[in-house]
């Protein structure tokens, strides 16, 4: 999720014309997404999309690859230079399931840095967005990407990446909505063994969960200072992403709700949870960790103080840069232990 950025006047003019053409807007997050009565969706380009190149000093080779031409799902690979095989991280970007791209410059820079400093090969998935493709479309795309990686590794047609990674150390990761996707992809795979890929854990950065009953961190602040997610925006994202008629206690939104599977009966991989102190999702993330622990699941969490939601991709402040480097070190420790 991102804060609103000023839109070029010519873009505003086009949006105004769209309003006349498509009727009234029925849902909107200022500067990010506008949904019209006839189903038309506008997404101003608030973050530039960039090609798969990084400065030479990163020491990371990047490439975009089509995963499914029928759904137009693709992935961006980040392959660091190394004399040994590296863990594989399948990453899902954030954006409330409704906005964002694996090509967004902020994700491209962050994942290039993560691949280089944490010493891992990353596959960043560009999944389908809501409301055109409501959940579970993003989960299905995540599972499809994992199974595609499996098939590619088995047939050896992608030696440029499969020969450079340790297929026995594969992790599902993401931030915000992407962390929600990583968790749900892991549970959907269940006991299915995507051999030769062996899933070892999930890395959940500020996972986007919700619920009808407000938590203290949601109730006490409409917009957390320094954070990229407000409560009204969160509610709008869920209305656009969940199946029509579902509320925020749907299991995909509230994994601890009454309609959710009991955590003890759910296959959950060892989990690293990265939580931001100034995030409205803080309490939900902490409750999720506590519930996993009570269910006997292996979980560890880190609370990053003084920063808000999505600080690692959207904030250039000194404190955010410090916390981002701390996060990368913690992720590296998790995937190598």
Active-site annotation holds for 176: yes
What local confidence, expressed as pLDDT, does residue 16 receive?
53
Residue 17 sits in the same domain as residue 134? no
Domain-embedded: residue 79:
yes
What local confidence, expressed as pLDDT, does residue 5 receive?
36
Residue 24 sits in the same domain as residue 90? no
What local confidence, expressed as pLDDT, does residue 276 receive?
96
Residue 175 sits in the same domain as residue 200? yes
Residue 216 sits in the same domain as residue 290? yes
pTM reported for the whole predicted model: 0.93
The enclosing domain of 203 has a CATH number of 3.40.50.1820
Cβ-based neighbours of 33, under 8 Å, separated by 6 or more: 27, 41, 42, 43, 98, 99, 240
Tally the domains of the chain: 2
Domain-embedded: residue 255:
yes
Domain-embedded: residue 231:
yes
Residue 30 sits in the same domain as residue 148? no
Catalytic one among 162, 176, 315, 320? 176
Residue 161 sits in the same domain as residue 265? yes
Residue 163 sits in the same domain as residue 288? yes
Domain range enclosing 14: 9-42
What local confidence, expressed as pLDDT, does residue 286 receive?
98
What local confidence, expressed as pLDDT, does residue 191 receive?
75
List per-block mean pLDDT (blocks of 10 residues) for the chain, which spans 337 residues: 41 51 93 95 95 96 96 97 96 98 98 98 98 98 96 78 91 98 95 89 98 94 66 97 97 88 84 96 97 95 96 95 98 97
Domain-embedded: residue 3:
no
What local confidence, expressed as pLDDT, does residue 163 receive?
85
**What number of residues does the chain have?**
337
């Amino acid at each position: 999720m991102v804060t609103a950025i000023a839109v070029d006047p010519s873009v505003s003019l086009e949006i105004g014309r769209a309003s006349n053409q498509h009727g009234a807007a029925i849902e909107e997050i200022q500067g990010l997404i506008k949904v019209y009565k006839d189903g038309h969706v506008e997404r101003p380009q608030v973050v530039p999309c960039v090609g798969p190149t990084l400065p030479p000093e990163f020491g990371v080779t990047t490439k975009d690859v089509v995963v499914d031409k029928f759904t137009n799902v693709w992935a961006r690979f980040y392959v660091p230079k190394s004399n040994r095989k590296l863990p594989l991280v399948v990453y899902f970007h954030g954006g409330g399931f409704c906005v964002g791209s694996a090509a967004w410059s902020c994700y491209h820079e962050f994942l290039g840095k993560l691949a280089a400093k944490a010493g891992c090969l990353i596959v960043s998935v560009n999944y389908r967005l809501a409301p055109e493709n409501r959940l579970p479309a993003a989960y299905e795309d995540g599972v499809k990407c994992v199974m595609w990686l499996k098939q590619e590794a088995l047939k050896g047609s992608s030696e440029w990446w499969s020969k450079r990674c340790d297929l026995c150390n594969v992790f599902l990761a993401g931030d915000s909505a992407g962390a929600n996707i990583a968790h749900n992809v892991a549970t959907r795979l269940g006991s299915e063994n995507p051999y030769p890929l062996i899933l070892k854990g999930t890395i959940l950065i500020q996972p986007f969960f919700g619920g009808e009953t407000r938590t203290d961190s949601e109730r006490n602040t409409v917009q957390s200072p320094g954070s990229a997610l407000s409560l009204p925006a969160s509610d709008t994202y869920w209305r656009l992403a969940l199946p029509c008629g579902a509320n925020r206690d749907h299991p995909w939104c509230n994994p601890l709700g009454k309609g959710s599977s009991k955590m003890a009966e759910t296959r959950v991989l060892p989990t690293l949870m990265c939580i931001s102190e100034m995030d409205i999702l803080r309490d939900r993330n902490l409750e999720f960790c506590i519930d996993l622990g009570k269910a006997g699941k292996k979980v560890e969490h880190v609370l990053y103080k003084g920063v808000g939601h999505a600080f690692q991709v959207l904030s250039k402040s000194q404190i955010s840069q410090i916390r981002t480097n701390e996060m990368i070190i913690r992720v590296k420790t998790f995937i190598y232990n």
